[in-house]
With several copies, the nearest count.
Chain A
Amino acid sequence: KDIMQFIESEQSKSKVQLSIHNFTDMCFKKCNANRPITSGGLDSNEEQCLTNCLNRFLDTNIKVVQALQGSSK
Chain B
Amino acid sequence: QIAQELAVANATELVSKITENCFEKCIVNPSVALNAQEDYCVNQCLEKYMRSWNVISKAYITRIQQSSAEK
Chain A residues with a Cβ under 8 A of chain B = 13-14, 16-21, 23-32, 36-42, 46-47, 49-61, 63-65, 67-68, 71-72
**CB-CB under 8 A for A64 and B15, given A52-B30, A59-B34:** yes
Within 8 Å CB of A28, what residues of B? 21, 48-49, 52
Instruction: Tell me, rounded to whole Å, the shortest Cβ–Cβ distance linking B7 to chain A.
Output: 8
Are B30 and A30 interface neighbours, CB within 8 A?
yes
Are A39 and B48 interface neighbours, CB within 8 A?
yes
Q: How large is the interface on B (under 10, 10 to 19, 20 to 34, 35 or more residues)?
A: 35 or more
Chain B residues with a Cβ under 8 A of chain A = 6, 8-11, 13-15, 17-23, 25-27, 29-34, 38-39, 41-53, 55-57, 59-60, 63-64
What is the interface of chain B mostly: helix, strand, loop, or mixed?
Answer: helix
Within 8 Å CB of A17, what residues of B? 6, 9-10, 13
**29 CB < 8 A contacts A-B:** A17-B6, A20-B53, A20-B56, A20-B60, A21-B13, A23-B56, A24-B52, A28-B48, A28-B52, A37-B22, A37-B25, A37-B48, A40-B43, A40-B45, A50-B55, A55-B59, A55-B63, A56-B30, A57-B19, A57-B27, A60-B23, A61-B19, A63-B39, A63-B46, A64-B18, A64-B22, A67-B46, A68-B11, A68-B18
